[in-house]
Chain A
């Protein structure tokens, strides 16, 4: 069974600081996604990572994937208040018969002025 663990689960940080959210998963995966969710809203796709060493950046967010370590990171640079949200990583595995994504519990990020 594929397990996905995110840490930290809660993060309060000040504007202007840098921080990293970690996503570990338990078995081989062929795709990893990062999503953002605002309270009461749907999920917004941030990044799709498909290969070892993949790195993608959008604004103040950068995601990377190390398939050998089964680890993805979401790095936040010079945080701003608008980035406050819950961030989920989700992992897909096509070989185990489960076609859906397995989500982590999410990281609740609060960025204070």
Chain B
């Protein structure tokens, strides 16, 4: 049973380009969470999705960031017109349920904006 799979592991983008980060949850998991980690910081919650629905996006920046979790395929975190401040590690986690269930984290995508 493969764990949470994220790709790419490393992504370099020039300012103004788009970044697409993918996350395939563990088999049987329908809850996906995205977090951002800046150097020497803890993780900051961004968005919580279930299949085809955004449940909570309270941690998402209002502009340039979007997320989806389609019926088929991985969850996508999309960052348009990237800026240097978007450079961070982006982690995806999945769980079988929501409350009081354990979430498992992927390896992360390290985005560098040059």
Residues of A within 8 A of B (CB): 4, 30-31, 33, 35, 41-45, 48, 50, 88, 90, 92, 94, 97-106
Of A4, A41, A42, A94, the most chain B CB neighbours within 10 A belong to: A42
CB distance from B5 to the nearest CB of A (A): 11
Whether A94 and B99, one on each chain, are in contact in the complex, defined by CB atoms closer than 8 angstroms, is yes
Residue B56 at the chain A interface, CB threshold 8 Å: yes
- The contact of A50 among B40, B46, B98, B100, by CB within 8 Å, is B100
In B84-112, which residues have CB < 8 Å from any A CB? 91, 98-100, 102-108
* Complex partner residue of A102 from B40, B45, B47, B107, CB under 8 angstroms: B45
Are B107 and A42 closer than 8 Å at their CB atoms? yes
Would A101 and B91 count as touching, CB distance under 8 A? Answer: no
Q: Which residues of chain B come closer than 8 Å to A41, judged between CB atoms?
A: 107
